[in-house]
Structure 1
C-alpha cells in the first residue's frame, strides 16, 4: 500500500447520508465558500478555507444530487430527486424559488453572468431558467440521448456541456441553435465533467480513466488510466500542473498533469469517493464520500505522515464559527422549512 505523502484532512461532519456533489465559489471579498449536496436532502454551506459550517438549506423532500453557487456566492442552487431545483439566498438560507420538474433533477449550473440557471435529469431535457424572471417558463432543449448526469457552461455561456448516466460521451450544445455541435467520445458514462478555471480544458472521469480535452477545439489532450473506477476528477486551477481523482477504492490520488505520475495518495474516507474538487486557489481540495463526510486536504503541504500529524479537525454543523469574516457576513443566517 502506497502511503507516500499522506496528509490529514479537515473532517467536515453534518450530513447523515452520502455526499454526492461539491462546488467551490470563486474568491469573493469575504473569502471563498464550499457547498455540498447529499442524499439527506439538505445542502450545506461552509467556509471553503476552514471547513467551518455556515448554514443548511432546508426545503427539499428528496436526495439532493447537485449543488452550485453563483459567481459572487450570493445565491445557491440545488437539484433534487423530489422533482425540483431550488434557488436559495446564500446569505440568509431563504428559499427564493422552486422550479418544478416532472422527474428527478440530477444536475444544475449557474451561467457565468449569473442570470441563468441550467438544469437536467431523468427527463432528458435541458432547461434554462431566467433568474430575472423566475416565474417565466424555461427555455427547453430536448433530444438529449440519455438521462442527464452532469452539466456545465463554457465559452462565456454560449455552449453547454452535458453527459449522460447511461451512455458514454460528453455533448456540446450550441446555445443559439439548441443543437449538439460536438461530442467528446468516451467508452464509459462520464460521471464528472469540469471546465478549467482558465477555460482551456475540460476534465472528465469515465470508468477507470481521467481525460483532458481542449475546450476550444475539442480534441483529446491527455488520457490517464486509473487504478480503480473513478467517479470524479479535478484540475488544479492556478497552475494547471496537477490533478486529483477519487472513486470506488476510497483513496484520493494526486497526479502530475504532464506525466500522469502519482505524487500523492490520501485515505481517510470509509466509503467510495463520489466527488473531488480543487479550491479556487489550488491550495487545498475537497472530497465527498458515501460515508457522509466532506474532507478538505492541503495540496502537498504540512505533515507527511499520520505519526507526525495532528488529530483531524471536526467541522460539523454544531461547531461555533471561527472565521471572523464569515461570522460577520452570516450573522443573520436563518433557514426555512
Structure 2
C-alpha cells in the first residue's frame, strides 16, 4: 500500500476561544497579512505567509464576530457582541475609532478605496461610515429583511451584498439608492459570502451547499452538495480551479471547481471549522475552528507535467499570468510579481 502524504499545516495558537472569522489582506509592499476574529474578544494580526503573530487589538468587551483589513493593510476593523465596531491602526495596534451600535455587530467590511466602512448585525441595519469624517453620522441603507450575517462590497464599491442569519438568500444593494436590487436565492441561510479577487464570482456557503454566482449578471454558475453542513467556502484566487470548504465535520476539504470532485481532505482541527480563506496568491489557505486555532495549509505542489510551461532556464515560456494560472504555487520572484501587479493595475 502506498502511504498517502498527509499535509502538515502551520498551527497558529493564541486565541483562547473559537475562531469565527478570517481575512487576508491583498499583497502589499510589506507582504500580506491575516487577521482573525474570535469569541475571546481579541482580534489578532499575523504574517499571512508564516502565520507569525504580529499583534493583538485590545479594547472589545465581548466576542468579536467579524474582522477585516483595508486594501493597504494599514487599518483593521472588527465587529463585536459588545455593540460596537472598532477601527484600529494596523501598524501600532491603537484604537482609532469606536462606532457604537444598538445591538451585536456581526459583519464589517472596508470599501475597496478604503474610505468607507460597512457594518451590519442583529439590528438589521446596514451602516456606511465615512473614514474621512469618522465623527459624522453614518449613512443607513433601507432596513435589511433579517439579522445581517455577512457583508461585502463589489463593482468598485457601487454594490453591497449582505446575507441574513435567519433566512436564505444574498441581497445585492445599489449603493446610490440604498435599496435592494436583486436577491440570489438559496434554501438555507448564507453563512459565508466571498467576492473573488478578480470580481467575477461570488462564492456562498448555505446549509450543505456551496454555490458560485456570476458577480456581474448574478446567474448561478455552479452549485455543489457537500458531505456535511458547511460554514465557509473560498475560491482559489489565481486560477479559480479549486475551492476550499470548512464545516461541521472538522475537516478542511479542497475541491475541483469544474467537476466538484474532492482533491484533498485536511484533518487536524478538533472542532467545527467556522471559516476558511485563500491567501491572495493562492499558494496557501487558512482555517479557523471552534478549537481556538488557526491552521495554514499549503496547496499541493504542482504536477510534474505542469512544468512544461517553464523552459530550461526556469523562465515562463508564456505570459506570467498564464503560468501562474497553470502552476499553482509557482513562486514568482518579487520584481516580476510587482511588475505583474502593475500590469494588472
Check whether TM > 0.5. Answer: yes
SS of corresponding position for 1:184: strand
Residue aligning to 2:162: 162
CA distance in 2 between counterparts of 1:20 and 1:223 reads 24
Are 1:28 and 2:20 matched, yes or no? no
Q: Based on CA coordinates, which of the two structures has the bigger radius of gyration?
A: 2
Deviations 1:300-324 (A, max 9, x none): 139xxxxxxxxxxxxxxxxxxxxxx
Tell me, yes or no, if the aligned pair for 1:6 and 1:264 is still in contact at 8 Å.
Answer: no
Provide the alpha-carbon RMSD of the alignment.
1.0
Residue aligning to 2:250: 250
CA distance in 2 between counterparts of 1:136 and 1:179 reads 22
Residue aligning to 1:320: none
Are 1:284 and 2:288 matched, yes or no? no
Deviation at 1:6, TM superposition (A): 3.2
Are 1:94 and 2:62 matched, yes or no? no
Residue aligning to 2:315: none
Residue aligning to 2:77: 77
Residue aligning to 1:68: 68
- TM-score w.r.t. structure 2 length? 0.86
SS of corresponding position for 1:135: coil
Residue aligning to 2:186: 186
List aligned pairs for 1:10-49, cutoff 5 A: 10-49=10-49
Residue aligning to 2:305: none
List aligned pairs for 1:1-337, cutoff 5 A: 6-301=6-301
Moved over 6 A (4+): none
Deviation at 1:4, TM superposition (A): 5.9
Question: Which consecutive unaligned segments of at least 5 residues does structure 2 have?
Answer: 303-345
CA distance in 1 between counterparts of 2:168 and 2:300 reads 33
SS of corresponding position for 1:129: strand
Deviation at 1:143, TM superposition (A): 1.9
CA distance in 1 between counterparts of 2:260 and 2:182 reads 27
CA distance in 2 between counterparts of 1:21 and 1:286 reads 10
SS of corresponding position for 1:145: coil
Deviation at 1:266, TM superposition (A): 0.1
CA distance in 1 between counterparts of 2:5 and 2:38 reads 29
CA distance in 2 between counterparts of 1:187 and 1:237 reads 27
Structure number with the higher helix fraction is 2
CA distance in 2 between counterparts of 1:205 and 1:4 reads 29
Deviations 1:128-169 (A, max 9, x none): 000001010000013211000000000000000000000000
Residue aligning to 2:308: none
CA distance in 1 between counterparts of 2:6 and 2:51 reads 19
CA distance in 2 between counterparts of 1:89 and 1:198 reads 27
CA distance in 1 between counterparts of 2:297 and 2:190 reads 25
Tell me, yes or no, if the aligned pair for 1:214 and 1:221 is still in contact at 8 Å.
Answer: yes
Distance 1:244 1:5, change over 3 A: farther
Distance 1:176 1:270, change over 3 A: same
Question: Which consecutive unaligned segments of at least 5 residues does structure 1 have?
Answer: 303-337
Deviation at 1:183, TM superposition (A): 0.4
Number of positions where the alignment pairs a residue of Structure 1 with one of Structure 2: 300
Deviations 1:238-267 (A, max 9, x none): 110000000000000000100101111101
Distance 1:4 1:230, change over 3 A: farther
CA distance in 1 between counterparts of 2:277 and 2:6 reads 18
